[in-house]
Structures are given as structure tokens and as C-alpha cells.
Amino acid sequence: MGCFFSKKSKRKSGEKDDRTPTTTTVDPKDYMLTGLKDVTAGRLPGKLNGQQFVIQECENCDIYVFDHSATITIDDCVNCRVFLGPVKGSVFFRDCKDIKCVVACQQFRTRDCKKMEVFLCCATQPIIESSTGMKFGCFQYYYPDLAFHFKDAGLSIFNNNWSNIHDFTPVSGENNWSLLPEASAVLDFVPAPDAESEFKSVRTSGDPARSIVPLTKGGRRKDSEESCLFVFFAGEYTTANARKMIDEVRKTGFVLIQTKEVSMRPEDVKRVFQNNAEELVDLTVLSSPPKGPVIALELNGDGVVEACRNIASEVFGGTKVFVSENKNTSSRDVDNFFNFADMQMGL
């Protein structure tokens, strides 16, 4: 019986091996923007593919990075509007002034910056240092490849700590940062690409209803004392179901406060869900067979618990979910879950 790999090659030593890999020369200039003024610049989808990127010494520019990247540093820029697609690692602004930006990243930092307005999706706690006049809002953006770029960057659209800012250098009696007005529209700060620019082919939207990242209220004061915890356990359509739930409750006027996507061990389920734990343990990531992470939503408004329970029954009848039982215990449900999630994520 023969073997596919049993024959030895008869190629002579002097012959060329067509299988020799070719090396591609990387031009550092392809991964940086420097010294630009009064122009529109950036990178189209597929141009970075997870590489590092540098933006420096730009003035009065519109900059669009419609791709995922490893890290991005922005130095010595003034009066610029910036969109940065999902960044697997850190985004670091240094010595920048009068910047309006939309950013999605694992880590966000600023140092020696003044007057920045940031629509942010950040998986960890954003940090500002020696920076003043910083204002933050929730990421609101869409373009066709954005969901894929989030996945390529290893970021969850449900893990967004945009309003949980840590000021590394606070000044007594002063506030170095604040939250943007709740009605702030992202395109009023970072306009869509000009129709005459090279980015006109990228179909963008700043409509919160189309945003890849769910629009959350974050650390702003809640409108109601009643909140509800709604948790989707791992399944084939977990993300789609969570997005559908968000759409359903918004139709009725309730508000999305925060979201999280985390893995849970059986012991975590028992601690977080207590009396309801037994029927949920088999749905965790370490069960047999293993399941994926859970997605949790905190929804707020008078009557939200009853409304969520009705939606769970009518819309998600065949889906494994946890919903707060009543408004007397719902606040405890919210605190138990999100305290656990923040501890697991090191927040």
C-alpha cells in the first residue's frame, strides 16, 4: 500500500524551490500619520489588519481609522476630529488639545491633554493623567465592518466602562472630567467623512439605534429607583437575543443602564443567583459540555421588572434566561451580578 508522502523529491540541489516564502517589506509610513494640517486622512478597512498605528503632530484634521489595530498612540495633536476603530490593546493620547473623538479599545489613557470630548467603548477603566477639561459619552457608531473588527480585536460590545473614569492626578476642589449631555449626538462632534474624501465609500452612521455598541446611561443618575437584571446564558443566538431585548425594552421607554459579558463558574452562579442557582449551573462555561459567557443587562424604569418578565415569556420563551422576580429584590440582583462581573474583570 502506498503513502502520499513516501516519495522523495528528485529536485537537484541547484534547482529553485518554488515553495520558498516571499517576504513583504513593511513601510513604517503606512502605519502612521504625522505632521498633517487641514486635511482628511486615515485608513480604510483592511489597511491595518491588527498592526500598531501612530498619529502625531496633526492640526485641524479629520482622521478616520476604519480598521482594527493592536495599539494606537496620538501625540501632540491639536483641534482634530478622530475616529478609531477597535483597538486590541491601548489607545494613548499625549500632549493633545481640543480633540473630539470616537474610540473603541481595551485600555484608554490620556496624559497632559486639554479639552477632549470622547465617545468611548473601553473594556477596562479609562485613565486620565495630568489632563483637564475631559468629557465622556457612550460610543455610538456603525459601519459595515465594525462588528467584525470588534471580534478581530477581541473586544466585547457589551463590556463598556465609558463612564467609570479614574483620574490619576486629581486636584482638590476641581473636576478634571465630566460626562457629556445625555442627548449628545456623535456626528455633531466627529462628522461623517466628506463626500469628496477617500472614505466616502464607507457607509457610516451615528444613529444610536444602529450603533454596534449598545447605548448605555452609565454613571448618570437613574430616572427610577426600580431596576431589573436580565441575563442571557450561552447559546447560539446569545448576542442577537441580547440586542433584541434591548430593542424591545426601549420601545416601552425603559433605559439601559449597563451591560456585561463574562464567564461564570458553577460556584459563581451559586453565589450570584443564590436561590435560583441550581437550574442555572448547567448553563455555565465550565459545565459539561462547556458553554460560553453570559450577557447581562441592567434595565431601569418604573414597572421595568414586570415588563421584562412579560418580554421573557412572550419573546424568549425557549431561551435560558434569568430575570429579576420582583422589584423588592431586583436591586440586590443587579448589585450581586455587576459586583461579581467588575471583580472578575479587575475593575
Residues forming the annotated binding site for GTP? 89-90, 106-109
Cβ density class 98-128: b for 16+ within 10 Å, e for less: bbbbbbbbbbbbbbbbbebbbbbbbbbebbb
* Beta-sheet pairing, 227-232 with 321-323: antiparallel
Task: For 265-284, give the DSSP string.
Answer: -HHHHHHHHGGG-TTTGGGS
Beta strands, E only, the chain: 32-34, 40-43, 53-56, 62-65, 72-75, 78-94, 97-111, 114-122, 127-129, 132-138, 166-167, 177-179, 227-232, 255-262, 294-300, 321-323
Alpha helices (H) along the chain? 146-152, 238-251, 266-273, 304-314, 330-344
- At 123, give phi and psi (nearest 5°): -75, -25
- Distance (Å, rounded) from C-alpha 33 to C-alpha 35? 7
Question: Which positions make up the binding site?
Answer: 89-90, 106-109
The amino acid occupying position 140 is: Q
268 alpha carbon, distance to own chain's centre = 24
